């Protein structure tokens, strides 16, 4: 899964940027901001988005969503090294494809909605999950803007941090569910 996200999605994104769009993929990755600044700001933004996201996920009306995703994540990514690998690969691969390539054609708003919808977070029949999806759409608007104005490395870093924090929290939550009691938020 991680290898496909990094190699497949990231590779397609890189090829679309460099070959189809004729843009300098390295210039897009590095952007106008220094890479160290992008990394620090990306970590900070990722932590803030993950914290707000967990605050939403931990709400009582999200219990069914938490149980479903916590169990799924625990089964697919039981150990921390795999969780980190998946987070890094998703941050790099998905951002290369979506913010690097797709956003060039569709723009920031449509790419943000498409990204969140493809992840399954905008179901019209599940109000709590849909509200979480709206939050993620707003977050992806910010990440899309950052990719365009600061550099794709910032978006990749923020995405990887968001995934790492939320996956870790869901796995910790799943242990409590497995023992028969949801953890207090």
What integer pLDDT is reported at residue 147 of this predicted model? 98
Cβ contacts of 137 within 8 Å, gap of 6 or more: 112, 113, 116, 122
What pLDDT, on a 0 to 100 scale, did the predictor assign at position 183? Answer: 53
**Which stretches of the chain score pLDDT less than 70?**
175-185
Q: Which residues lie closer than 8 Å to 30 by C-beta, 6 or more apart?
A: 151, 152, 153
Question: In the prediction, which pLDDT does 180 show?
Answer: 54
Per residue in 157-177, pLDDT (tens digit) is 999 999 999 999 999 887 665
- State residue 185's pLDDT score: 45
Sign for the pseudo-dihedral over CA of 113, 118, 119, 122: positive
- Please name the residue ranges forming H helices in 58-151: 63-76, 80-95, 103-118, 127-149
The pLDDT assigned to 45 comes to: 98
The pTM is what? 0.92
């Amino acid at each position: 899964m991680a290898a496909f996200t990094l190699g497949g999605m990231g590779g397609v994104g890189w090829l679309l940027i460099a070959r189809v769009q004729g843009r300098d993929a390295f210039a897009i990755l590095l952007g106008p901001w220094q890479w160290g600044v992008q990394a620090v700001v990306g970590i900070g933004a990722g932590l803030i988005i993950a914290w707000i996201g967990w605050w939403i996920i931990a709400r009582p009306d999200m219990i069914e969503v938490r149980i479903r995703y916590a169990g799924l994540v625990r089964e697919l990514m039981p150990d921390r090294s795999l969780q980190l690998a998946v987070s890094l690969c998703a941050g790099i691969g998905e951002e290369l494809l979506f913010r690097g390539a797709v956003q060039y054609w569709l723009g920031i708003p449509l790419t943000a909605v498409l990204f969140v919808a493809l992840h399954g977070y905008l179901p019209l029949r599940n109000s709590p999950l849909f509200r979480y999806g709206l939050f993620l759409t707003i977050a992806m608007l910010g990440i899309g803007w950052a990719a365009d104005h600061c550099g794709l490395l910032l978006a990749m870093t923020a995405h990887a941090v968001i995934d790492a924090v939320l996956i870790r929290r869901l796995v910790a939550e799943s242990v409590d569910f497995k023992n028969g009691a949801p953890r207090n938020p």
